[in-house]
Amino acid sequence: MTLPTVPADPRLIDQGCPLIDVRAPVEFAKGALPGAVNLPLMDDDERHRVGIAYKEQGQEAAIALGNTLVTGAVKDTRVAAWRDYLARHPDAVIYCFRGGLRSQIVQQWLADAGVIRPRIEGGWKALRQRLMARIDAAADQPLLVVGGLTGCAKTVLINRLTNGVDLEGFAQHKGSAFGRSPEPPPCQIDFEHRLAQRLLSLPGPLVVEDESRQIGQVNVPLNFWGAMERAPRLRVEMPLDWRLAQLQRDYILDLEQSYQARYGPEEGWQRMSKQLGNALLRLKKRLGDARLQRLQRLQALAFKEHEHGNPQAHEAWLAPLLTEYYDPMYRYHLKRQQKAGVDEVHVGDWESCLAAARQWSLDQAALD
């Protein structure tokens, strides 16, 4: 019986096709395809032992060992897991690293149990290459970058656009020392795959936020980053009080809610306050000892007030952090861009920048 295959087509990702990743958990953790669930043929220890047998004795010995390790009740349990998932997702597709032996074994065992499903030709590796090619191709699309001082709600603006690409969202990091999420950050591969998945549905003009190449623990792919560096910009300008209110929501209230949802009220509070304290400490070299100590005192007082129902007290350390650190740093960055001749298509308040981004997108689409 010939086991069916499907091409490594990015439309599988764009259309949200359920995927069964039969690689070992350690492989899955290093990066999977979007929409995949890990139901491995072998666990990490089994894979390690089979790998040694393959290197020392060849493929036949490795297959024989694999059949010995994954047999009887172990085999039955894994087949049952695949069948259960397929009962809930009958259109799911199977893949391993290269679409070879492991996915074929899973197919065959399922076929023996009366279930026929295809595997991806070339597996994870082939489809990843197609996804990375999509990111590289996006570097040639019209691109607009949204800049502005910290607290201008640039990410909110990006997410109000049908063609916005939220790099911070894919990185699960707000792009500053204070931007860590309580959720574990993605690995580089998963970040790239999330970006590619978004780009699959956006063949026209794109709008992104002005970012450093590194966002949290991941890096923007080089070709796409180069396009961002060359792209025209619009700049959001909002008064300090407005920006402080935005930061209060993003870095205090929303962060507190996220931590407490994940860890419970008490532990969540402790983790959030520790994160914000450590974030200040990471700026020690740039702030200098005296300024750091002053901000730490203000932050500690703000947390005491917060515990008594006054989160507004955080403005006491957020305001000088903006005016003495983030604002000068951004203005220096802006001057470098202006000296380099970067085109600014619009400068204005948040609403006018949202309208300008939409108009730019319409104008660019009309040129195609």
**Catalytic site positions:** 96
Largest CA distance in the chain: 75
Nearest to 64 by CA among 82, 43, 49: 49
Give a three-class secondary structure readout of 43-69.
Answer: CHHHHHHHHHHHHHHCHHHHHHHHHHH
DSSP 4: P
Q: 186: which residues sit within 8 A by CB, 6+ positions away?
A: 170, 171, 172, 194, 218
CA dihedral (276, 277, 279, 280) in degrees, to 10, reads 120
First-to-last alpha carbon distance for the chain, in angstroms, is 48
Structure tokens, 186: 């993605």
- Nearest 5°: the CA angle 34, 139, 126 is 40
Element holding 297 (H helix, E strand)? helix 289-307
The whole-angstrom separation of Cα 50 and Cα 291 is 57
DSSP 328: H
Rg (C-alpha) for the chain, rounded Å, is 25
Which residue has 């499903």 as its token pair? 117
What three-state secondary structure class fits 93? strand
